[in-house]
Amino acid sequence: MNRFAYRMAGYAVKAFTDLSKARIRTYGKENIPKGALIFAINHFTRIETLLIPYQLHRLTGLTFWNLADYELFDAGLAGIFNRLGVVSTRNPDRDRLMVKTLLTGEAAWIVFPEGRMVKSKKVYDPEEKVLGRFRIASPAGYHPPRTGTATLALRTEFYRQRIRIIRDSFPEEIDRLARLFQIDQILRISNIETFIVPVNVTYYPIRAKENALSRLAELFIGELSERVLEEIITEGTMLLAGVDMDIRFGAPIRIAPYLKSSAVQKDIASLKPINFDDPIPSRPMMRKTAVRIMERYMSNIYGMTTVNHDHLLVTLLKYYPSVEIDEKDLRRRAYLATTLNFQKMGIYRHESLIQNQIHLLTDDRYGKIDNFVSFAIDKKIIRRDGDKFVKMVDFSESGEFHRVRIDHPAVVILNEIEPLTELQEHLEALALEHGLRVKHRLQEYLISNAAFAYERDYAAYAVEGESKGADVGAPFLIRGQSGKIGIVLVHGYMAAPLEVRALAEYLGSMGYWVYVPRLKGHGTAPDDLAGRRYMEWVESVEEGYAIMADLCRIIVVGGFSAGGGLAMDLCTRVSNIAGVFAISPPFKLHDFSARFVPAVNLWNRLMKRMNVESARKEFVENRPENSHINYVRNPLSGLMELDHLMEQLGDKISSIAIPALIVQSYSDPVVHYNGSLKIFKLLGSRQKEYLMVNQPRHGIVNGEGADRIFRIVHEFIQGLEPPASVR
């Protein structure tokens, strides 16, 4: 290998990578051992031949050679391939070169065990049901995976052990091997073991459409073959539109233990010359061993597929028994799919699946549903019919091999997780479940998960002498007399659900369903709150909304203090809410008194010198009205998050057009009425009310005069009910 050419070609690939919008993440670097390394990687795109060696070199510092399908050299890439150490599968010196470089430690190798790009990702025979029984799709039909990777590893370890064992007893063979492998000082071969490192590469999302690269190629090259055009369209979209490329390293497979049998050891120590293809006595055993190793690394490679939202959605559509599916029903099933115990199944998730998935049931702010639906409609997988989707394919047709990524991408996505049989079984069962049962399961999960999260956080953070009783912070549901109106009622900052229990019970006595969520970080200890982000509070409210949305026909949201702000925030993102009420809501952080927030000048100085991490360690004293509920230490990081919440809400209040009620005390010692008045003026609602009372405290939902506030809220909710004639 020309080292200078290798480095120059590497710089070109680096520039190419930097220009692309591909987001490359690596996992499991700790699984890369020291030794003679062969990286066995699944093969889906041509760009892997360039990007993977560069990424692995950057990660490990090793020099990499790459064994690639000979057909790739026919697409104008031969020059850069040769400079990057890419070797054709038809190179006559392939095996000698591979064993030599592994013996000397000159380079590690990248091998694609499928033997070629598998554009359809069809590698598994579902009839077998035994992980490891793989069949690879190709234009010529199906074939078993190649055992070349395993054979290469066995040969390397065979000759390494042989050189060590016969170095003194058979010097003539040592000299012959030195000439065969072109190694000057063969006795100094690297004294390390041989390993196969299984690697999975998963792309998300897989999309294909005409792009700048395909247009430029047609302009400067002229008419392109269908195959080349498909590759430019598919892989160009990945690079230019952006794709997540997850590279995951599995546990290394140590080769030496596979050579321990007496028959193999006898051949290793043989005092006869042994060439690659000599019919030595242990050769049949070695072939069987190569198959076992192949099945092991193929299972590992495809078992490490990074599951994403597209996998879940397209599999649910495939198994759904009806041609039509309601959009809300699909969202419910998708959410429940994300709650499966992936860790127990040993399945890896895309990073977007690891966080709270409640957005799938509310505003889909990350576009996981909407982007999939747009893609599915564009590819004629489904069509929209009002609130329903109609399936237009049977998910079995794959079409022409080199067009499958463009014409049948849903099949590609399905095939990718076909080897994950346990996940397939769970998704099929979920897709076949009755819609009413799905709704019931979703409610049960959300309610029980919120309770469990509180118990877990309380156990982790509660401090004796500072934390309140466990009943103070527990979320709760009050069951109504009918499924007509449901209310999501949100407590304030540094408080807990007990703060609004009296109002919740009053509304429950009026026949309404009421759910009071616990905002993350609340009801436990200040140190818990110090580590939270305001989006976690938003998600707590969304979970409450999702519970009510399937229980009641009319949804009302409301809250006290900062809880009122969170209620309004939900209304800016979710459309089917009938009304919103906010009691003593602040507009900006400076609407709070110095008793709650440090004086303005002090606050500004603190913010200039603090980052989030240091703010988590700083607290200011809080003297609450309800010391049996609220924290007595206020984390500065919590105030920063509260500030972020109100800042982003301020620009959106005018978008709230539903009926709204604001209640404020003129003599509130914590939140100045100017803030709530500004909120009222900004509201885009035609039907809005502002009621000012004069109670000399902030917590007007408890204590003297609270019953009047309750009646006002009840009257507002009553006004949202449709007349009896249209019910």
> 565 in helix, strand or coil?
helix
**Residue ending a domain, choose from 402, 433, 464:** 433
Domain assignment present for 727: no
Tens digit of pLDDT for each residue in 601-627?
A: 555 566 656 665 555 568 888 888 889
Do 255 and 311 reside in the same domain of the chain?
no
User: Which amino acid, 236?
Assistant: G
Range of lowest pLDDT (36-40, 174-178, 478-482, 704-708): 174-178
Give dist(CA 412, CA 391) in Å, integer.
17
For residues 269-278, give the mean pLDDT.
88
Give dist(CA 491, CA 497) in Å, integer.
6
Do 408 and 520 reside in the same domain of the chain?
no
Do 417 and 396 reside in the same domain of the chain?
yes
For residues 177-195, give the mean pLDDT.
83
Residues whose CB is less than 8 angstroms from the CB of residue 613 and which lie 6 or more positions away in sequence, other chains included: none
Predicted local distance difference test score (pLDDT) of residue 396: 76
Closest CA to 536 of 571, 566, 500, 497: 566
Q: Is the pTM of this model over 0.85?
A: yes
Of all residues in the chain, the percent with pLDDT exceeding 90 is 63
Residue 49, pLDDT > 80, answer no
Do 325 and 298 reside in the same domain of the chain?
no
Q: What is the four-CA torsion angle of 507, 510, 515, 518, rounded to 10 degrees?
A: 20
Do 579 and 681 reside in the same domain of the chain?
yes
User: Are residues 45 and 79 in contact, defined by beta-carbon separation less than 8 angstroms?
Assistant: no
Residue 269, pLDDT > 90, answer yes
Predicted local distance difference test score (pLDDT) of residue 284: 93
Residue 309, pLDDT > 80, answer yes
Name the CA radius of gyration of the chain, rounded.
32
Q: For 655, left (φ over 0), alpha (ψ -120 to 50), or beta?
A: alpha
Do 43 and 14 reside in the same domain of the chain?
yes
Predicted local distance difference test score (pLDDT) of residue 53: 86
Q: Which H or E run includes 138? A: strand 136-138
Give dist(CA 635, CA 616) in Å, integer.
6
Do 293 and 318 reside in the same domain of the chain?
no
Predicted local distance difference test score (pLDDT) of residue 33: 96
**Residue ending a domain, choose from 374, 402, 433:** 433
Which has more confidence, 255 or 86?
255
**Residue ending a domain, choose from 283, 303, 323:** 303
Number of domains, the chain: 3
pLDDT tier, 6 (very low <50, low <70, confident <90, very high otherwise): very low
pLDDT tier, 217 (very low <50, low <70, confident <90, very high otherwise): very low
Alpha-helical segments (H) within 304-326: 309-319
Residue 224, pLDDT > 90, answer no
Burial annotation 253-272 (CB, 10 A radius, 16+ → b, else e): bebeebbeeeebeebbebee
Give dist(CA 197, CA 455) in Å, integer.
41
Q: Which H or E run includes 708? A: helix 706-718
For residues 531-557, give the mean pLDDT.
97
Do 395 and 359 reside in the same domain of the chain?
yes
Do 59 and 164 reside in the same domain of the chain?
yes
Beta-strand relationship, 324-326 and 388-391: antiparallel
Predicted local distance difference test score (pLDDT) of residue 79: 56
Residue 78, pLDDT > 90, answer no
Predicted local distance difference test score (pLDDT) of residue 324: 97
Any long-range contacts for 375-384 (C-beta under 8 Å, 24+ apart)?
375/205, 375/207, 375/310, 375/409, 376/314, 376/317, 376/410, 379/408, 379/409, 379/410, 381/314, 381/317, 381/410, 382/317
Do 203 and 315 reside in the same domain of the chain?
no
Do 706 and 693 reside in the same domain of the chain?
yes
Residue 226, CA distances (Å) to 55, 116, 214, 531 in order:
30, 18, 12, 54
Do 51 and 189 reside in the same domain of the chain?
yes
Give dist(CA 367, CA 350) in Å, integer.
15
Domain assignment present for 219: no
Range of lowest pLDDT (90-94, 662-666, 674-678): 90-94
Predicted local distance difference test score (pLDDT) of residue 76: 53
Predicted local distance difference test score (pLDDT) of residue 593: 64
Average pLDDT along the chain: 87
Tens digit of pLDDT for each residue in 451-507?
A: 999 999 999 999 999 999 999 999 999 999 988 999 999 999 999 999 999 999 999
Closest CA to 539 of 449, 613, 616, 657: 449
Which has more confidence, 317 or 626?
317
User: Are residues 235 and 75 in contact, defined by beta-carbon separation less than 8 angstroms?
Assistant: no
Domain membership of residue 16 as a residue range:
3-207+243-303
> 270 in helix, strand or coil?
coil
pLDDT tier, 170 (very low <50, low <70, confident <90, very high otherwise): very high
